Each structure stands twice: as C-alpha cells, then as structure tokens.
C-alpha cells in the first residue's frame, strides 16, 4: 500500500519536525503533504527546509497565502494527494511504529474503505494537562469500546449504539483515496472547530469503515497550552455555538442524502434543533427541550413533533 500523509500546519514550529519524522519512518508513506496556513511563527521556514531535505515532503499554501483553517488546509491536501491511501496527522502529534500494522492486513479486503485505531495522549505542559483532564474523562486513549465495521460504525457515532463509547480521532484514520473522491467527501470549511468530527461522521456513512487496533495507541496527541479544543468550557456559549454549527452541517448534509433512513434524519434534526435552541435561547431552554423529548417519547415519534416543540418553547 502507498500512503499520502496530510499535515495541516499552523504555528507548530515546536512540534513539526517530530511529526514529519514519525511519518517518514514508514516505507508505505510515499508523500507527506505540509499544508502551511499562514503561520505567525517560523513554521513556514521549517516546512521549506524539510521539503528541501526530503523529496517525499511537499509544501503547499493556499493560493492567496492566507489563513483558512484546518478544514480548508486538509481539503487542499485531499486535492494534492497522489497515493492510493490517505492518512492524517496534526502537526503537534506523531505516529507510533505500529501506526499501519492493521492497515497492511485489513486493506487486503477490497470491501474495506477505511481503518481507524486508538490515539494516546502525551502531556507537554501542566496547564494543558489540567485543561484536558477537566474536559475529557478518558485521558489515556481516544478510542471506541469494541470492534465495529460498516453500519455499526455509523450507528455508534450517531449514538444509536450506546455501547460504542468514545469517538475515534483523525490521526488514527486511513482511507482509500478513491473512496473519498468517489463520494466527494470534503471538510466543511465553515467549521473552525469540529471539522474533523464532521468529516468522520459523514465518511462513516458513505464508506465501509472497520476498526483496527483499538486497545493500544497507534499515534500520540500532544497536549499543550495552545490546544484550542481544551480552551472551550463545557456548556459555555462558545461550546453551544460550535456544537450548533457542527450539527447544522450534519443536518444540511442529511437533507441531501436520499437513501438515509428517515428515522436517522429525524434524529439528526432533533439534535440540530436542540443545540439551535441552546445557541439562541441559552442552556435552560436546551435542558427543558431535552427533558420534554425524553418524557414525551410518543410525541417525538410523530411527524408533528417539531410543531409541538416550537409551540411549547416559543421557538
């Protein structure tokens, strides 16, 4: 198998070389795409030097040389990738030696379009550690609770399978390039947060994914003072705004998927509406909305549920 590794780069000068070197250790990795996103530190210079030192490393910037976010940078990488498989790596993270062990075996089955595995955590600062531990229950592995494949993965990410547990990280995902392009899958560039979760969710519906190594890390996420995801407090206005944008992206996607189960479409709409209320009306309205749905299961199964909810909450 031949792999293109996509690395979006923004102000990652302290970590970039380690990330790149961790990808270079694999014979399967034929190219590393550095998508430099108008950093304010010396990341661009480091990218140039790395590209000069190794022909596998290729540097790209956005046409206007501006800052467009991780989603747009990854999309640029998707458009430039030339190998049979694509994997992802954040510039402040790194791969472990077993990163593609499962892929080398499982991709022998042509039905499988993507493999995902567990991601470990390395705390690079005490402040980053405290912020991460305050937000996430599992600070050891980002993984799922049991093996899954095909529709089981989508049901797990939807929350239909409650036993699925946590989500999986983009750093642990490898996908057939032709599958991404055949389904016109891209990162939502309007999302400055959660664009990776949005991409994985849609990917799990359109492509046949299978779990690889889920009980031990295949890559490491570096947690430091500048991780954006840990800066946002749970149930804050910023939290609800970002979750609303994520669920709006899913909702708009679901409206255009003709073969999506109508029950799934309704559930996606319900999630979207709940966070829309939270974003506009505040957490108390959100809590009341959720409690109302839980205590009125018959109502939310009917086609008139949203009319009733709108009336109930004056929304």
The structural domains of the chain, ordered by start, are: 3-231 (3.90.550.10), 237-313 (no CATH)
User: Could you tell me the CA-to-CA distances from 245 to 26, 100, 166, 185, 193 in Å, in that order?
Assistant: 37, 33, 21, 18, 9
- For residue 285, the tally of other CB atoms under 10 A from its CB is 17
Q: What pLDDT score does 290 carry?
A: 62
pLDDT at 313: 47
DSSP-derived letter for residue 173 is: E
256/259 Cα distance (integer angstroms): 9
Q: Are 51 and 59 in contact (CB under 8 A)?
A: yes
With CA atoms as reference, report the closest residue to 73 among 5, 9, 3: 9
Supply the pLDDT for residue 133.
65
pLDDT score of 72: 97
- What dihedral angle (degrees, nearest 10) is formed by the CA atoms of 158, 167, 201, 197? 130
Distance CA 200, CA 187 (A): 9
Q: Half-sphere exposure of 266 toward its Cβ, with a 13 Å CA cutoff? A: 12
Task: State how far Cα 306 lies from the chain centre.
Answer: 29
Listing from the earlier edge strand, what are the strands of the sheet with 3-9? Answer: 57-61, 29-36, 3-9, 85-88, 173-176, 114-116, 209-211
Residue 84 CB burial class (10 angstroms; 0-12, 13-18, ≥19): middle
pTM, whole model, 2 decimals? Answer: 0.87
205 CB-side CA count, 13 A? 20
DSSP string of 99-159, one letter each residue: TTHHHHHHTTSTT--EEE-EEEEEE-SHHHHHHHHHH-S--SEE--SS--BTHHHHHHHHT
> Which segments of the chain does DSSP mark as H helices, in order?
16-24, 43-53, 69-80, 101-106, 126-135, 151-158, 177-182, 195-206, 228-231, 237-255, 262-281, 283-295, 305-313
As given in the structure block, the two tokens for residue 66 are: 């501006």
Candidates 141, 168, 175, 174; CA nearest to 154 is 168
pLDDT averages per 10-residue partition of the chain, 315 residues? 97 95 98 97 97 98 95 98 98 97 98 97 76 65 94 93 86 98 96 93 97 97 71 70 91 94 90 79 64 55 49 48
Q: Could you give the CA distance from residue 92 to residue 106 in angstroms, rounded to a whole number? A: 28
């Amino acid at each position: 198998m031949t792999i293109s590794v996509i690395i979006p780069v923004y102000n990652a000068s302290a970590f970039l070389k380690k990330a790149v070197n961790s990808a270079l250790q694999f014979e399967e990795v034929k190219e590393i795409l550095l998508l430099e996103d108008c950093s304010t530190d010396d990341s661009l210079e480091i990218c140039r030097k790395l590209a000069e030192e190794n022909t596998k490393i290729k540097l790209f910037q956005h046409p206007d040389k501006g800052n467009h976010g991780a989603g747009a940078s990854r999309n640029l990488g998707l458009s430039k990738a030339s190998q049979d498989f694509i994997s992802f790596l954040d510039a402040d993270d790194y791969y472990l030696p077993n990163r593609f062990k499962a892929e080398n075996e499982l991709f022998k089955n042509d039905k499988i379009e993507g493999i995902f595995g567990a991601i470990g955590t390395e705390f690079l600062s005490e402040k980053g550690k405290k912020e991460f531990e305050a937000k996430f229950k599992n600070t050891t592995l980002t993984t799922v609770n049991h093996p899954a494949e095909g529709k089981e993965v989508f049901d797990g990410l939807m929350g239909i399978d409650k036993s699925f547990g946590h989500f999986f990280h983009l750093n642990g995902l490898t996908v057939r390039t032709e599958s991404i392009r055949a389904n016109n899958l891209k990162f939502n560039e309007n999302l400055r947060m959660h664009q990776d979760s949005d991409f994985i969710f849609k990917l799990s519906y359109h492509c046949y994914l299978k779990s690889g190594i889920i009980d031990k890390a295949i890559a490491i996420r570096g947690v430091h003072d500048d991780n954006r995801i840990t800066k946002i407090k749970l149930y804050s206005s910023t939290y609800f705004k970002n979750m609303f944008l994520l669920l709006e992206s899913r909702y708009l996607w679901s409206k255009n998927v003709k073969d999506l189960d109508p029950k799934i479409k309704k559930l996606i709409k319900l999630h979207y509406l709940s966070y829309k209320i939270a974003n506009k009306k505040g957490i108390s309205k959100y809590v009341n909305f959720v409690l109302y749905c839980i205590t009125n299961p018959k109502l939310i199964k009917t086609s008139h549920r949203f009319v009733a909810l709108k009336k109930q909450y004056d929304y």
